[in-house]
Amino acid sequence: MKELLITPQQVAGDAFRTPDMMPPQAVSEATILAAQQKYIVPVLGAALCAAMARGTRSELLTDYVQPALALYVKMLMMPSLALQTGPAGVAELNSRNLARAGEGKLHAAVRRLQGDALALMRRATDHIESAPVGAYPEYDPELNILNRCSTDGGVVLPRNRKSKK
């Protein structure tokens, strides 16, 4: 799937409050595609993501998926926002009016973004799974990674599934 589920302009406006804070040109399509592949496809599945990209699930996309995806894109961008790559290699941006956040604060901000985005994805799957049977035929709850495992302190744990007797 190579179609973007959100535009750089939407990410700049939704995840960074106003497009003035983050110009849309700073949001790369590659980062959006990476966020989709890492965080959206494992939850919703490739078939449902393709349907949203075609525009057949626009309500699901705009009301549920795009807010989460914008946060995931911001989360992927955060570590590199204060760095610039140039002829001299990787350099840290320096501003006279701003102080750079320390590693602890950066990690805490990334964890918070990840938690907020995950909560929004759970909201999306709750919406899909509570819809009438057949409303989302492209969705397979067995493929949803949130139904198969969870994380605790960065450790991936299998979810307790009901055993078949």
Q: Which of 13-22, 114-123, 129-138, 146-155 has the lowest mean pLDDT?
A: 146-155
Q: Is the dihedral of CA 146, 36, 9, 28 positive or negative?
A: positive
pLDDT tens per residue, range 3-62: 999 999 999 998 987 666 788 898 999 999 999 999 999 999 999 999 999 999 999 999
Can you give the pTM of this predicted structure? 0.83
- Closest to 139 in 3D by CA, of 52, 45, 39, 42: 45
* pLDDT at 148 (0 to 100): 83
CB-based contacts of 138, cutoff 8 Å, min separation 6: 45, 47, 48, 50, 51, 57
Residue 43: which H helix or E strand, with range? helix 41-44
* Annotated domain spans of the chain: 8-84+95-158
